[in-house]
Amino acid sequence: YRIMQTSQLKEIQSLIESMAYEVTFTPRGETSIVDMLSVLLDNEDDFDTKEQKIIITGYPDEDELDGSFFMQFFSEYSFTVQDKDLLNLLNMINQVNLLLPLGAFYLGEENSKLYFKYVLAYPKESSITAAFLNDVLDMAIYAIDEFQEGFENL
Protein backbone atom coordinates (compact mmCIF):
# COMPACT_ATOMS: atom_id res chain seq x y z
CA TYR A 1 0.00 0.00 0.00
CA ARG A 2 2.89 2.39 0.65
CA ILE A 3 3.72 2.21 -3.06
CA MET A 4 0.14 3.24 -3.81
CA GLN A 5 0.35 6.17 -1.37
CA THR A 6 3.67 7.32 -2.82
CA SER A 7 2.32 7.05 -6.36
CA GLN A 8 -0.78 9.04 -5.39
CA LEU A 9 1.36 11.78 -3.86
CA LYS A 10 3.60 11.81 -6.95
CA GLU A 11 0.49 12.19 -9.14
CA ILE A 12 -0.71 15.05 -6.93
CA GLN A 13 2.77 16.60 -7.16
CA SER A 14 2.53 16.61 -10.96
CA LEU A 15 -0.91 18.21 -10.85
CA ILE A 16 0.26 20.96 -8.49
CA GLU A 17 3.39 21.61 -10.53
CA SER A 18 1.16 22.05 -13.60
CA MET A 19 -0.39 24.98 -11.70
CA ALA A 20 3.04 26.70 -11.55
CA TYR A 21 3.80 25.90 -7.90
CA GLU A 22 7.20 24.71 -6.75
CA VAL A 23 6.65 21.30 -5.12
CA THR A 24 9.17 19.10 -3.31
CA PHE A 25 8.57 15.42 -2.56
CA THR A 26 10.16 14.17 0.67
CA PRO A 27 10.06 10.39 1.20
CA ARG A 28 9.60 8.84 4.58
CA GLY A 29 12.94 8.64 6.32
CA GLU A 30 15.13 10.66 8.63
CA THR A 31 13.35 13.99 8.18
CA SER A 32 9.74 12.74 8.02
CA ILE A 33 7.76 9.81 9.36
CA VAL A 34 5.51 9.87 6.26
CA ASP A 35 5.91 10.70 2.57
CA MET A 36 5.05 14.36 2.04
CA LEU A 37 4.82 17.16 -0.49
CA SER A 38 5.93 20.70 0.32
CA VAL A 39 4.19 23.36 -1.80
CA LEU A 40 5.93 26.76 -1.82
CA LEU A 41 3.39 29.58 -1.97
CA ASP A 42 5.77 32.30 -3.18
CA ASN A 43 4.11 32.39 -6.60
CA GLU A 44 1.04 33.98 -5.04
CA ASP A 45 1.22 37.70 -5.91
CA ASP A 46 -0.77 38.79 -2.89
CA PHE A 47 0.87 36.47 -0.36
CA ASP A 48 2.51 38.44 2.45
CA THR A 49 5.01 35.94 3.79
CA LYS A 50 7.98 34.64 1.87
CA GLU A 51 8.66 30.94 2.20
CA GLN A 52 5.09 30.11 3.36
CA LYS A 53 4.39 26.46 2.53
CA ILE A 54 1.59 23.96 2.58
CA ILE A 55 2.64 20.43 3.53
CA ILE A 56 0.54 17.65 1.99
CA THR A 57 0.58 14.13 3.42
CA GLY A 58 -1.47 11.04 2.62
CA TYR A 59 -3.10 8.60 5.05
CA PRO A 60 -3.46 5.82 5.98
CA ASP A 61 0.14 4.81 5.80
CA GLU A 62 -0.63 1.11 5.75
CA ASP A 63 -3.45 -1.02 4.41
CA GLU A 64 -5.77 -0.17 7.32
CA LEU A 65 -8.70 1.11 5.26
CA ASP A 66 -10.09 -0.65 2.22
CA GLY A 67 -11.74 2.15 0.29
CA SER A 68 -10.52 5.57 1.43
CA PHE A 69 -7.51 7.82 1.11
CA PHE A 70 -7.05 10.97 3.21
CA MET A 71 -4.94 13.92 2.13
CA GLN A 72 -3.92 16.41 4.83
CA PHE A 73 -3.04 20.03 3.99
CA PHE A 74 -1.00 21.64 6.77
CA SER A 75 0.61 25.07 7.06
CA GLU A 76 2.30 26.71 10.04
CA TYR A 77 2.81 30.45 10.37
CA SER A 78 6.38 31.60 10.96
CA PHE A 79 5.56 34.00 13.80
CA THR A 80 5.44 32.99 17.47
CA VAL A 81 2.32 33.55 19.56
CA GLN A 82 2.82 35.88 22.52
CA ASP A 83 1.49 34.68 25.90
CA LYS A 84 -0.14 38.03 26.67
CA ASP A 85 -2.32 37.69 23.57
CA LEU A 86 -3.31 34.06 24.06
CA LEU A 87 -6.92 34.62 25.17
CA ASN A 88 -7.57 37.14 22.37
CA LEU A 89 -5.98 34.76 19.87
CA LEU A 90 -8.10 31.81 21.04
CA ASN A 91 -11.24 33.94 20.67
CA MET A 92 -10.16 35.05 17.19
CA ILE A 93 -9.39 31.46 16.15
CA ASN A 94 -12.89 30.40 17.21
CA GLN A 95 -14.49 33.25 15.25
CA VAL A 96 -12.39 32.64 12.14
CA ASN A 97 -13.00 28.87 12.20
CA LEU A 98 -16.75 29.54 12.08
CA LEU A 99 -16.25 31.48 8.84
CA LEU A 100 -13.97 29.05 7.00
CA PRO A 101 -15.57 26.94 4.26
CA LEU A 102 -12.92 24.24 4.81
CA GLY A 103 -10.13 23.58 7.28
CA ALA A 104 -9.47 25.17 10.65
CA PHE A 105 -6.79 27.00 12.59
CA TYR A 106 -5.21 25.48 15.71
CA LEU A 107 -2.53 26.29 18.24
CA GLY A 108 0.40 23.90 18.35
CA GLU A 109 2.28 22.52 21.30
CA GLU A 110 2.79 24.91 24.18
CA ASN A 111 0.50 27.44 22.41
CA SER A 112 3.46 28.99 20.60
CA LYS A 113 2.71 28.29 16.92
CA LEU A 114 -0.46 28.76 14.92
CA TYR A 115 -1.28 26.44 12.05
CA PHE A 116 -3.96 25.68 9.47
CA LYS A 117 -5.11 22.13 8.74
CA TYR A 118 -7.57 20.60 6.31
CA VAL A 119 -8.17 16.91 5.57
CA LEU A 120 -9.68 15.81 2.27
CA ALA A 121 -11.21 12.32 2.13
CA TYR A 122 -11.79 10.57 -1.19
CA PRO A 123 -12.26 7.02 -2.53
CA LYS A 124 -8.99 5.15 -3.00
CA GLU A 125 -9.89 4.12 -6.54
CA SER A 126 -10.80 7.63 -7.75
CA SER A 127 -8.52 10.23 -9.28
CA ILE A 128 -8.29 13.90 -8.44
CA THR A 129 -8.42 16.39 -11.31
CA ALA A 130 -6.19 19.44 -11.57
CA ALA A 131 -9.26 21.72 -11.47
CA PHE A 132 -10.53 20.12 -8.25
CA LEU A 133 -7.10 20.23 -6.60
CA ASN A 134 -6.67 23.85 -7.68
CA ASP A 135 -9.98 24.75 -5.97
CA VAL A 136 -8.90 23.02 -2.74
CA LEU A 137 -5.49 24.74 -2.80
CA ASP A 138 -7.11 28.11 -3.52
CA MET A 139 -9.41 27.77 -0.52
CA ALA A 140 -6.55 26.73 1.78
CA ILE A 141 -4.34 29.56 0.53
CA TYR A 142 -7.20 32.01 0.97
CA ALA A 143 -7.59 31.02 4.64
CA ILE A 144 -3.85 31.13 5.36
CA ASP A 145 -3.36 34.48 3.64
CA GLU A 146 -6.59 36.25 4.60
CA PHE A 147 -6.20 35.87 8.36
CA GLN A 148 -2.42 35.98 8.72
CA GLU A 149 -2.15 39.72 9.38
CA GLY A 150 -4.96 39.70 11.95
CA PHE A 151 -3.46 36.77 13.84
CA GLU A 152 0.05 38.20 13.69
CA ASN A 153 -0.96 41.70 14.84
CA LEU A 154 -2.88 40.65 17.96
The CA-based dihedral angle spanning residues 117, 123, 124, 128, taken in that order and rounded to the nearest 10 degrees: -70
Total residues belonging to the chain: 154
SS3 of the chain: helix, strand, coil, percent, to 5: 40, 25, 35
Q: What is the pLDDT of residues 36-70, one digit of tens each?
A: 999 998 755 555 555 789 999 988 766 666 788 88
Instruction: Say yes or no to pLDDT of 98 above 80.
Output: yes
CA gap 106, 104 in Å, rounded: 7
69 touches 122 (CB < 8 A): yes
**Contacts of 116 by beta carbon, 8 Å cutoff, 6+ apart:** 73, 74, 75, 76, 103, 104, 105, 106, 140, 143, 144
Q: What is the pLDDT of residues 104-116, one digit of tens each?
A: 999 987 778 999 9
Q: Considering the entire predicted model, what is its pTM?
A: 0.87
Find how far residue 113's CA is from the centre of its chain.
Answer: 15
Instruction: Say yes or no to pLDDT of 76 above 60.
Output: yes
How high is the pLDDT of residue 128? 86
How high is the pLDDT of residue 49? 52
